[in-house]
A = this chain, B = another copy of it.
Amino acid sequence: MTGQTQKNQTIWLDEDYPDGVRIIDQRVLPFTYSEITIDSVESMAESILTMAVRGAGCIGVSAGFGMYLAALEARSLTPAKAEEHLNASADKLLATRPTATNLSWAVAMQLKALSGIEDENQRIQKAREIAVGISDDDVSSCRRIGEIGVKLIRDLHTEYGRKINILTHCNAGWLAFVKHGSATAPIYAAQKAGIPIHVVVGESRPRNQGALTAWELNGAGVEHTYLVDSAVGHIIQNGEVDIVFVGADRVSMNGDVANKIGTYLRALAAREGDVPFYVNFPSSTLDPYSKNGISDIEIEERPEKEVSHVSSVVEGRNVAARVLPPGSPARNPAFDVTPHQMITGLITERGLCDANPMALAKMFPDYVARAS
C-alpha cells in the first residue's frame, strides 16, 4: 500500500495531469494499489495489452480515452497527417485484444465523431467529450444493471427468508468498468438495500481476477468466500448457490455469451442444479454483427506464461511464480462461449431480456438495423 487514498474508479481525467489519463494499475493489484498516468496512445495500447486496465467496460472506456490521447498527439499535424495518426492509433488500439466488443465499439465511435474535423482544438475537444461520454454511460449503465438485478436478489430473499448466496466469476466488478461493475452491481445494490448476501468468488485462473473481486468485496465489507475454480460445481451441487451473476466480453444477437474462461462450466453446473444464471453487461457489449457466438466469436489465446506461472506475492514482493515444470507446453484460451440456452436472462441498462434471438431483436431493434 502506498498511503494513497484509494479510489473506487478505474480511469479518470485529473486536472493535475492535463496531458494524460489516470488509471489504477491493475497489474499489481490486489497486493499493491498504484495510480499511474497514461500519456500516449502507445502507452494506452500497452496498458490494455498487459491488462493494467482490463474488463469489458474498462477496456472500452480506455480505448475511448486512447483516442483522446491520439487527438492530443495530432495537435500540431496537418489535417491529412492528423487523420492518418488517428487511423493508425485506432488500429493500434484494436490490435491489443480481440474478444471484447466494447473496444471496437468505442474506437469506431471516436473515428466517426472525429472524421472531418480539421481544427485541432475542436478535434481535441470532441475526442475528450466522446471519451468522457463513454465513461459516463458506462457508469450509468452499471448503476441501472444494479437496480434491475437487485430485484432478483430481493425476490429470492423474500422467498427463502435467509441470506442469499450469489456466485460470480472472474472480475466483472467496478475494476472491470469505471464504477459499480456489471456482475457486482446488483451485489453492491443489495448490500446498500440491507439484503443479507454472501458472495462466492472463483479464483479465475490463469490471472486470478477472482482475487480482484475478493479485494473489491473485502473493501466494500461484503461477506464472501474464495474458492478454486474447480470447487464451483461441488458447491452448486451442494445447494450453496442461489443465483449466478457473471459479466460478458461479447454477446451475440442470439444470446450466446463470450466471457472469461470457465463461465461455460459454471453455466453447465447451474443448469444441472436448477440455479438461475444471469449475464450482466452494458449494451455496448452486444455485438450486432455476431449472429452466433459459438461459431462467430474469436477466442483470444493469451501467452503460455500466464498458465505456467502465477502472479503472486512472496515475502512482500509481486512475483511470477512458476507452477508448471519446464518441458510441458501449455495453452491459454482466455474466454469461452456459453450457449444462450443455458442462460436464464441477460441484464443490460435497457432491462432484463431473455437470452434468445427474438427477445434480443425486440429489445435492441437499433442493433438489428445497424447490422442490416
A binding-site residues for B, Cβ under 8 Å: 30-31, 201-206, 208, 211, 214-215, 217-218, 224-235, 237, 260-262, 264-265, 268-269, 272, 294, 299, 307-314, 319, 321-325, 327-333, 335-337
Which listed residue (B310, B325, B328) contacts A310, Cβ 8 A? B310
> Known contacts A211-B325, A329-B226; is A234 also within 8 Å of B261 by CB?
yes
Closest to A234 in B: B336
Residue of B nearest to A214 (CB): B328
- Name the B residues within 8 Å of A218 (CB-CB): 325, 327-328
- Name the distance in Å between A292's Cβ and chain B's nearest Cβ: 13
The residues of B that contact A329 with a CB separation of less than 8 Å are 224-226
The 8 Å CB contact of A325, one of B215, B234, B261, B322, is: B215
A265–B336 CA distance with the chains assembled, in angstroms: 15
- Chain B's nearest CB lies how many Å from the CB of A3? 17
B261, A211: Cβ atoms closer than 8 Å: no
Chain B residues positioned under 8 Å from A202 (CB to CB): 230
Q: What are 16 A-to-B residue pairs whose CB atoms are below 8 Å?
A: A30-B325, A201-B328, A203-B323, A206-B228, A211-B324, A214-B325, A218-B328, A229-B230, A230-B262, A231-B261, A231-B332, A233-B264, A233-B336, A234-B261, A234-B264, A237-B336
Please give me the residue from chain B that is nearest to A200 by CB atom. Answer: B331
Q: Out of B217, B307, B325, B331, name the residue touching A328 (CB < 8 Å).
A: B217
Residues in B with CB closer than 8 Å to A237 are 264, 294, 336-337
CA distance A92 to B290 in the complex (A): 60
Docked pose: A268 CA to B264 CA in angstroms: 10
Q: Do the beta carbons of B264 and A333 come within 8 Å of each other?
A: no
Q: How far is the CB of A165 from chain B (nearest CB, A)?
A: 12
Q: Roughly how many angstroms separate A228 CA and B203 CA in the complex, as a whole number?
A: 11
A231 touches B268 (CB 8 A): no
User: Which among A231, A308, A335 has the greatest number of chain B C-beta atoms within 10 A?
Assistant: A231
B-chain residues with CB within 8 Å of residue A308 when the two chains form the complex: 226
Q: How far is the CB of A299 from chain B (nearest CB, A)?
A: 7
| Chain B residues, Cβ within 8 Å of A327 | 218
Asked whether, in the complex, the Cβ of A265 is within 8 Å of the Cβ of B232, the reply is yes
